[in-house]
Amino acid sequence: MTRGLGRDDVLATIAWCLVTALSCIEVVLVTKGVGTHMDNLSKESLAELFSLMPVDKMLFISSGCFVRLSILFCLPRIYRDRSFMTCIYGVSLATVIVAATSLLFLVFSCSPPSDVFNAANPDRQCVSNYTLGRMRQAHSISATVVNIIILFLAIWASSTTSRTRAKTIKRTLILVVGVFAIVSSLVRIGILLTTDLSIDTTHRMVRTAPWFPIEVHTGLWCSCLLAFEPLTEPSNNPRNYNNYNMRKLSRSSAWEPQDDLWHRNLVTSNPRISIHGMPRDTKGKRKASNAESEADIEMLENERGIKLTTEFSVHVENSAHAGERLEERVSRTPAWNAF
């Protein structure tokens, strides 16, 4: 995994930092009065609490965005079909648009924007709490739809690339973690739609507050899907892993495909590939030179490029006459294979 780091790992790292910051802010909000009745809090405590709440919302929106992007950029490692990649790009764009729109609306909800983080200012000019609540509901619904689409794409990639039913089931069980993230987002939407946060806000926030970090934390686990990929392998025999890696490392030195058991089994099991590397027709009627299309030729990765090979043919014949000795003929024929 550490040898194949990509953009999804960078996005997952950023998401992890944002999720950690979100959890810290949630703890701070509890110490400032979340869960306590507003009548029991002083004006200074309420001002500090409502000044930190926009930071909490921004961290939730941005962390959810990066978590979804890390999952979307991880899926092409499993499957890269053209239609599938089109869906990946479309959902990624929708994720960025939803997050950017929500962040911009939140930042410019007050004039000037600095008043968003200064709830103690009595002359603040901000949008109503009703409008902020509608924005929160719209973002939650849009994010939930994106989560469902991402789960569908993950199941699509897993079911398409898995060759056996057992491996498909194992991968699907790993992806079931994403179902919990969707369930948590649905529960959060239901609570937001049925709870009036304009009355005793600090006390009623306890019903909705836990579901925000639960959703992003579960999504972050889903973004680490490739870390669980070895669990879906049909065999945990270390000999298979070592044989495959030694085969890759030996390409930089004097690697002989004839001495590689993995390569020999693969070549002999494919009737269109000869042992000497020349693609042949399954019926023996055509060669690679007169094939009608590229679909008639199947090449391995190590057969691509221009290579110079030398073939040795040794013929030993027994003489019918007693005076003759064994005759050995060795012919060396250089062959250029260009693909």
With 0-12 / 13-18 / 19 or more C-beta atoms within 10 angstroms meaning exposed / middle / buried, residue 167 is middle
CB-based contact 143:100 (threshold 8 Å): no
179 and 51 in one domain?
A: yes
The number of distinct structural domains making up the chain is: 2
In the predicted structure, residue 250 carries a pLDDT above the cut 50: no
23 and 46 share a domain? yes
What is residue 100's predicted lDDT score, i.e. its pLDDT? 95
The verdict on 8 and 87 lying in the same domain is yes
**Percent share of the chain, pLDDT over 70:** 62
- Do the domain assignments include residue 290? no
Percentage of the chain with pLDDT > 90? 19
**Whether residue 20 is found in the same domain as residue 163:** yes
Note whether 18 and 146 are same-domain residues. Answer: yes
Is omega for the bond preceding 238 within 30 degrees of 0, making it cis?
Answer: no
Residue located via tokens 């890696």: 245
Provide mean pLDDT across the span 167-189: 79
In this structure, the answer to whether residues 204 and 253 fall within a common structural domain is no
Task: Kindly state whether residues 179 and 247 are assigned to the same domain.
Answer: no
Higher pLDDT, 266 or 109: 109
CB 162 within 8 A of CB 171: yes
Are residue 224 and residue 242 in the same domain, yes or no? no
Choose one of 202, 217, 232: the last residue of a domain. Answer: 232
Domain boundary (232, 266, 292) is at 232
- Which domain does 324 fall in, by range? 238-279+306-338
Q: Average pLDDT, stretch 165-170?
A: 70
Residue 326 lies in a domain: yes
Residue 111 clears pLDDT 50, i.e. is over it: yes
In the predicted structure, residue 301 carries a pLDDT above the cut 70: no
The residues that bridge with 126 in the sheet, in sequence order, are 110
Task: Based on the fold, state whether residues 261 and 223 are members of the same structural domain.
Answer: no
The runs of H, that is alpha helices, within the chain are 7-32, 43-74, 82-107, 129-161, 165-194, 201-208, 211-223, 238-249, 261-269
Whether residues 275 and 149 share a domain: the answer is: no
Window from 8-17, 118-127, 320-329 with minimum mean pLDDT = 320-329
CB 52 within 8 A of CB 28: yes
What would the pLDDT profile of 214-247 be if each residue is shown by its tens digit? 888 888 887 776 666 655 554 444 444 444 443 4
In a domain, 228, yes or no: yes
pLDDT in tens, 42-64: 888 888 888 899 999 999 999 99
More reliable by pLDDT, 14 or 155: 14
Residues 107 and 20 in one domain: yes
Mean pLDDT of 295-312: 53
- The residue out of 193, 210, 232 marking a domain boundary is 232
Domain check: are 8 and 41 in the same one?
yes
Q: Which residue has the higher pLDDT, 7 or 270?
A: 7
**Is residue 188 within 8 Å of residue 219, measured between CB atoms?**
no
